[in-house]
Amino acid sequence: MPRQYFGTDGVRGRVGELPMTPDFLVQLGWAIGQHAQQGTVLIGKDTRLSGYMIEAALIAGLTSAGCSVLTTGPLPTPAIAYLCRQLPEVTLGIMISASHNPYEDNGVKLFDGTGFKLPDSVEQAIEQTITKPLQCVAAKHFGKVKRLKTAATQYVDYACSLFPTQYNLQDLHIVLDCAHGATYHVAPLIFEQLGAKLTVIGYEPNGVNINDHVGSTSPQLLQKMVVAEGADLGIAFDGDGDRVLMVDESGRILDGDDLLYILAQDRSAESGIVGTLMTNFGLECALRELGFDFYRAKVGDRYVLEAMQQRGWWLGGENSGHIIDLHVGTTGDGIVSALQVLACLARHKKSLTSSLRGLKKFPQVLLNVVVSERPAALDHPQLLAAVQRIEASLKDRGRVLLRTSGTEPLIRVMVEGEDETEVTAFAQELVAEVKACYGAL
């Protein structure tokens, strides 16, 4: 059945509008509590002002269902996943965040007691429960609420423990961009404890400046700071800390594809690596040259994880900077991924720039076509014929991807190939075909 409230990453929306309203969130908390069966629920959040309201509403619903609650205050999403694994009393974890979105949005992400995001079937069951009348447990069975005061310390110690003890960061000057988000207090502590010289930006959240011209979705300030400070590199997280990108000493941005390539050079090619439909074709070619099998999942870190688990592979990620390594965690962790990249550089005595010499990314042109109505499937014979013609021209030198937006009346046209002029012409040709077949506004 289609889900009404849960998307690819929990429940998300504009605060004050359904489903991010106090009354709905109380009902959601109660429905989650029914699934948790009077267990203990861990709640973390990023730095959005609306987090206070959402946390309070969820707590009201959860405790009325008989669940006890542990709160952590602002912490990265992967810290909540980690603590779910570490605390035996926790049966479910909640992260209040809209990730890289502006402060006007917020969301609710759910994890099971082992730190993995809830499967679709469980989210569907929670949705069905939301529609039922809220019935409180008896007063003597209401849940209690406590603050987990050691939450940040536990996560800092965990992240530091993953960096090889034979190395440190004492020779590196790093500019750290915390996006005024959930990493603002733990990330500097971690990198300082490992010896790095730090220049920190985006570490003064005020409730409304999260992701505002800072962080992994707005790295321009980071690029300028790395060059101005003469730093060795820069690291940027998104608002909830599950994404990361890096900047080399010249100010060049390294996205998730670049970071996956660096990590792959440090791994055995006995396994494979999962990317997405948006992973650059150049990375696929470079990974195959290193001996790795490669698989493209649908866009979304939950689908990357699903494909990894189905194949028994350990590493995967998105070009947005979500990187999952099942050896160390159950979800994308921007801080840990950055530390893994730095460990690779230390082990092989390379810089970011030299580590990417075997990767030649292909030009990628992505165009959005606004249509009058989003089609259920892109199966118009005229469009399919055009795609086949262009794919034949590209052969093994590129690829074509057409997909509809999940939330807007958009058709996304993407073409990749070795020659940027050719790729641009093909993309524009497909845009014309889309308009002819489906109409355009």
**Do 373 and 348 fall within a single domain?**
no
- What are 95's strand-pairing partners? 44, 109
**Do 289 and 335 fall within a single domain?**
yes
| Single-letter amino acid code for the residue at 346 | A
Q: What share of the chain is helix, strand, coil (3-state, %, to 5)?
A: 40, 25, 40
Residue 181, domain member (yes or no): yes
**Do 345 and 376 fall within a single domain?**
no
What is the residue whose two structure tokens read 């209040």?
96
d(CA 182, CA 53): 17
**Do 138 and 160 fall within a single domain?**
no
Say whether pLDDT at 2 is over 70. Answer: no
**Do 133 and 235 fall within a single domain?**
no
Please write the tens of the pLDDT for every residue from 360-400: 999 999 999 998 887 888 999 999 999 999 999 998 889 99
Please write the tens of the pLDDT for every residue from 176-219: 999 999 999 999 999 999 999 999 999 999 999 999 999 999 99
Cis-peptide into 19, omega within 30 deg: yes
Residue 327, domain member (yes or no): yes
Domain count, the chain: 3
**Do 69 and 93 fall within a single domain?**
yes
Please write the tens of the pLDDT for every residue from 56-71: 999 999 999 999 999 9
**Do 307 and 292 fall within a single domain?**
yes
Residue 373, domain member (yes or no): yes
DSSP single-letter state for residue 331: S
Please write the tens of the pLDDT for every residue from 395-427: 888 999 998 876 678 899 999 999 999 999 999
Of 317, 337, 355, the residue that ends a domain is 355
Residue 1, domain member (yes or no): no
**Do 201 and 305 fall within a single domain?**
yes
Say whether pLDDT at 233 is over 60. Answer: yes
Question: Could you tell me the two tokens for 425?
Answer: 């012409």
**Do 282 and 375 fall within a single domain?**
no
Q: How much is the pLDDT for 76?
A: 98
Residue 390, domain member (yes or no): yes
Number of helices and strands (H, E) in the chain? Answer: 14, 19
| Range of the structural domain that residue 139 is part of | 6-149
**Do 129 and 205 fall within a single domain?**
no
Residue 321, domain member (yes or no): yes
**Do 142 and 208 fall within a single domain?**
no
Of 130, 149, 168, the residue that ends a domain is 149
Q: How much is the pLDDT for 406?
A: 66
The rounded mean pLDDT for the chain is 95
d(CA 75, CA 326): 21
Q: How much is the pLDDT for 190?
A: 98
DSSP single-letter state for residue 322: B
Q: For position 404, which CATH number holds?
A: 3.30.310.50
Is residue 99 among the annotated active site residues? Answer: yes
Question: Could you tell me the two tokens for 341?
Answer: 């990249």
Q: For position 195, which CATH number holds?
A: 3.40.120.10
Set 99, 216, 320, 355: catalytic member: 99
Residue 304, domain member (yes or no): yes
Of 149, 179, 194, the residue that ends a domain is 149
Alpha helices in 131-249 (DSSP H): 151-161, 186-193, 220-229
Residue 125, domain member (yes or no): yes
CB 66 within 8 A of CB 120: no
**Do 26 and 89 fall within a single domain?**
yes
